[in-house]
Structure 1
Amino acid sequence: MVPAPASQAPPRAACPELHLPPPLPGIVAAVGEDELRWLCLRLAEALQAGPLAAVWQLEVDEFSDLAGELAELVVHGLAGRQRQRAVIAWVRLWGRHGPLELDEGQRQSWLGLWSGQLQRVPLPAYLARPLVRWMEALTAQWVQPGAATVLAFPRASPG
Structure 2
Amino acid sequence: MIFTPTPLSGSFLVTPRVLGDHRGWFMRTFCRNSFAEIGHHKEWVQMNHSYTALKGTLRGMHFQQPPYAEIKLVRCIAGAAFDVIVDLRENSATYLQWFGAEISASNKQMLYIPEGFAHGFQALTDDVELVYCHSEFYTPAAESGVRYNDPKLRIQWPLKAVEISERDLQHPLL
TM-score scaled to structure 2, two decimals?
Answer: 0.29
Query: TM-score scaled to structure 1, two decimals?
Result: 0.30
**Structure that is richer in strand per residue:** 2
